[in-house]
Amino acid sequence: MVFICTVARGGFRTERVRSGISGLAIFEIGRDDAEPVSYAAVVGLDSLPGGGSELYFHIVEADGSTGGERLFWSGKDTGFITDVSDRRAVMDAVLLGLGQLLARVAPPEFRWFTHDERPPKKALLKFAAIRRAVEGCGYTVSSSRLPLGRRAWHAVRAAPVPVDRSAGGSDPAAARVRP
């Protein structure tokens, strides 16, 4: 099996699920060169018991010959994506899908967690990129350590900054941010 990255050719499909604040961004990331197998990345928001939402990520392997699917929740299981530039392209696509999902669903707050206990440094670097992408979408993010070496993040939509438009007349560049 050789993973063929198709991120550059793949499109994005974002769906809005109307039960609570939930949604999915699903996009093709690759295929197998010898078998009828395709791969998609999923970025989702789902309702948590007691309220709030959880952000999650995984890769789906769809077997065209059996109709079966296999989910990969951990980067430890995605060693079949061997090329560094392919891994980077998949991560970039996940970040783009994340931004599209947050723009579409716009939850007031949500949480996400590491799947693995004591994740390696390169996994934490990916979570740092996810945090920056969430912050770039207008959220304030805090993090915490959980038992067994897991990590958690909590994102809250930042309050809009009030702007005093009366100070600048009709020139928006002259408007001042109110303290």
Q: Longest Cα pair distance anywhere in the chain, in angstroms?
A: 66
Q: Do 175 and 167 form a contact (C-beta atoms < 8 A)?
A: yes
- Give the phi and the psi of residue 124 in degrees, each rounded to 5: -65, -30
Q: How far apart are CA 6 and CA 173, in angstroms?
A: 43
Determine what percent of the chain falls in helix, strand and coil, rounding each to the nearest 5: 30, 40, 35
Question: What pLDDT, on a 0 to 100 scale, did the predictor assign at position 166?
Answer: 64
Q: How far apart are CA 25 and CA 166, in angstroms?
A: 41
Kindly list the domain boundaries of the chain, sorted by start residue: 3-177
pLDDT tens digits for range 75-133: 888 988 989 999 999 999 899 889 988 988 889 999 999 988 888 888 889 999 999 99
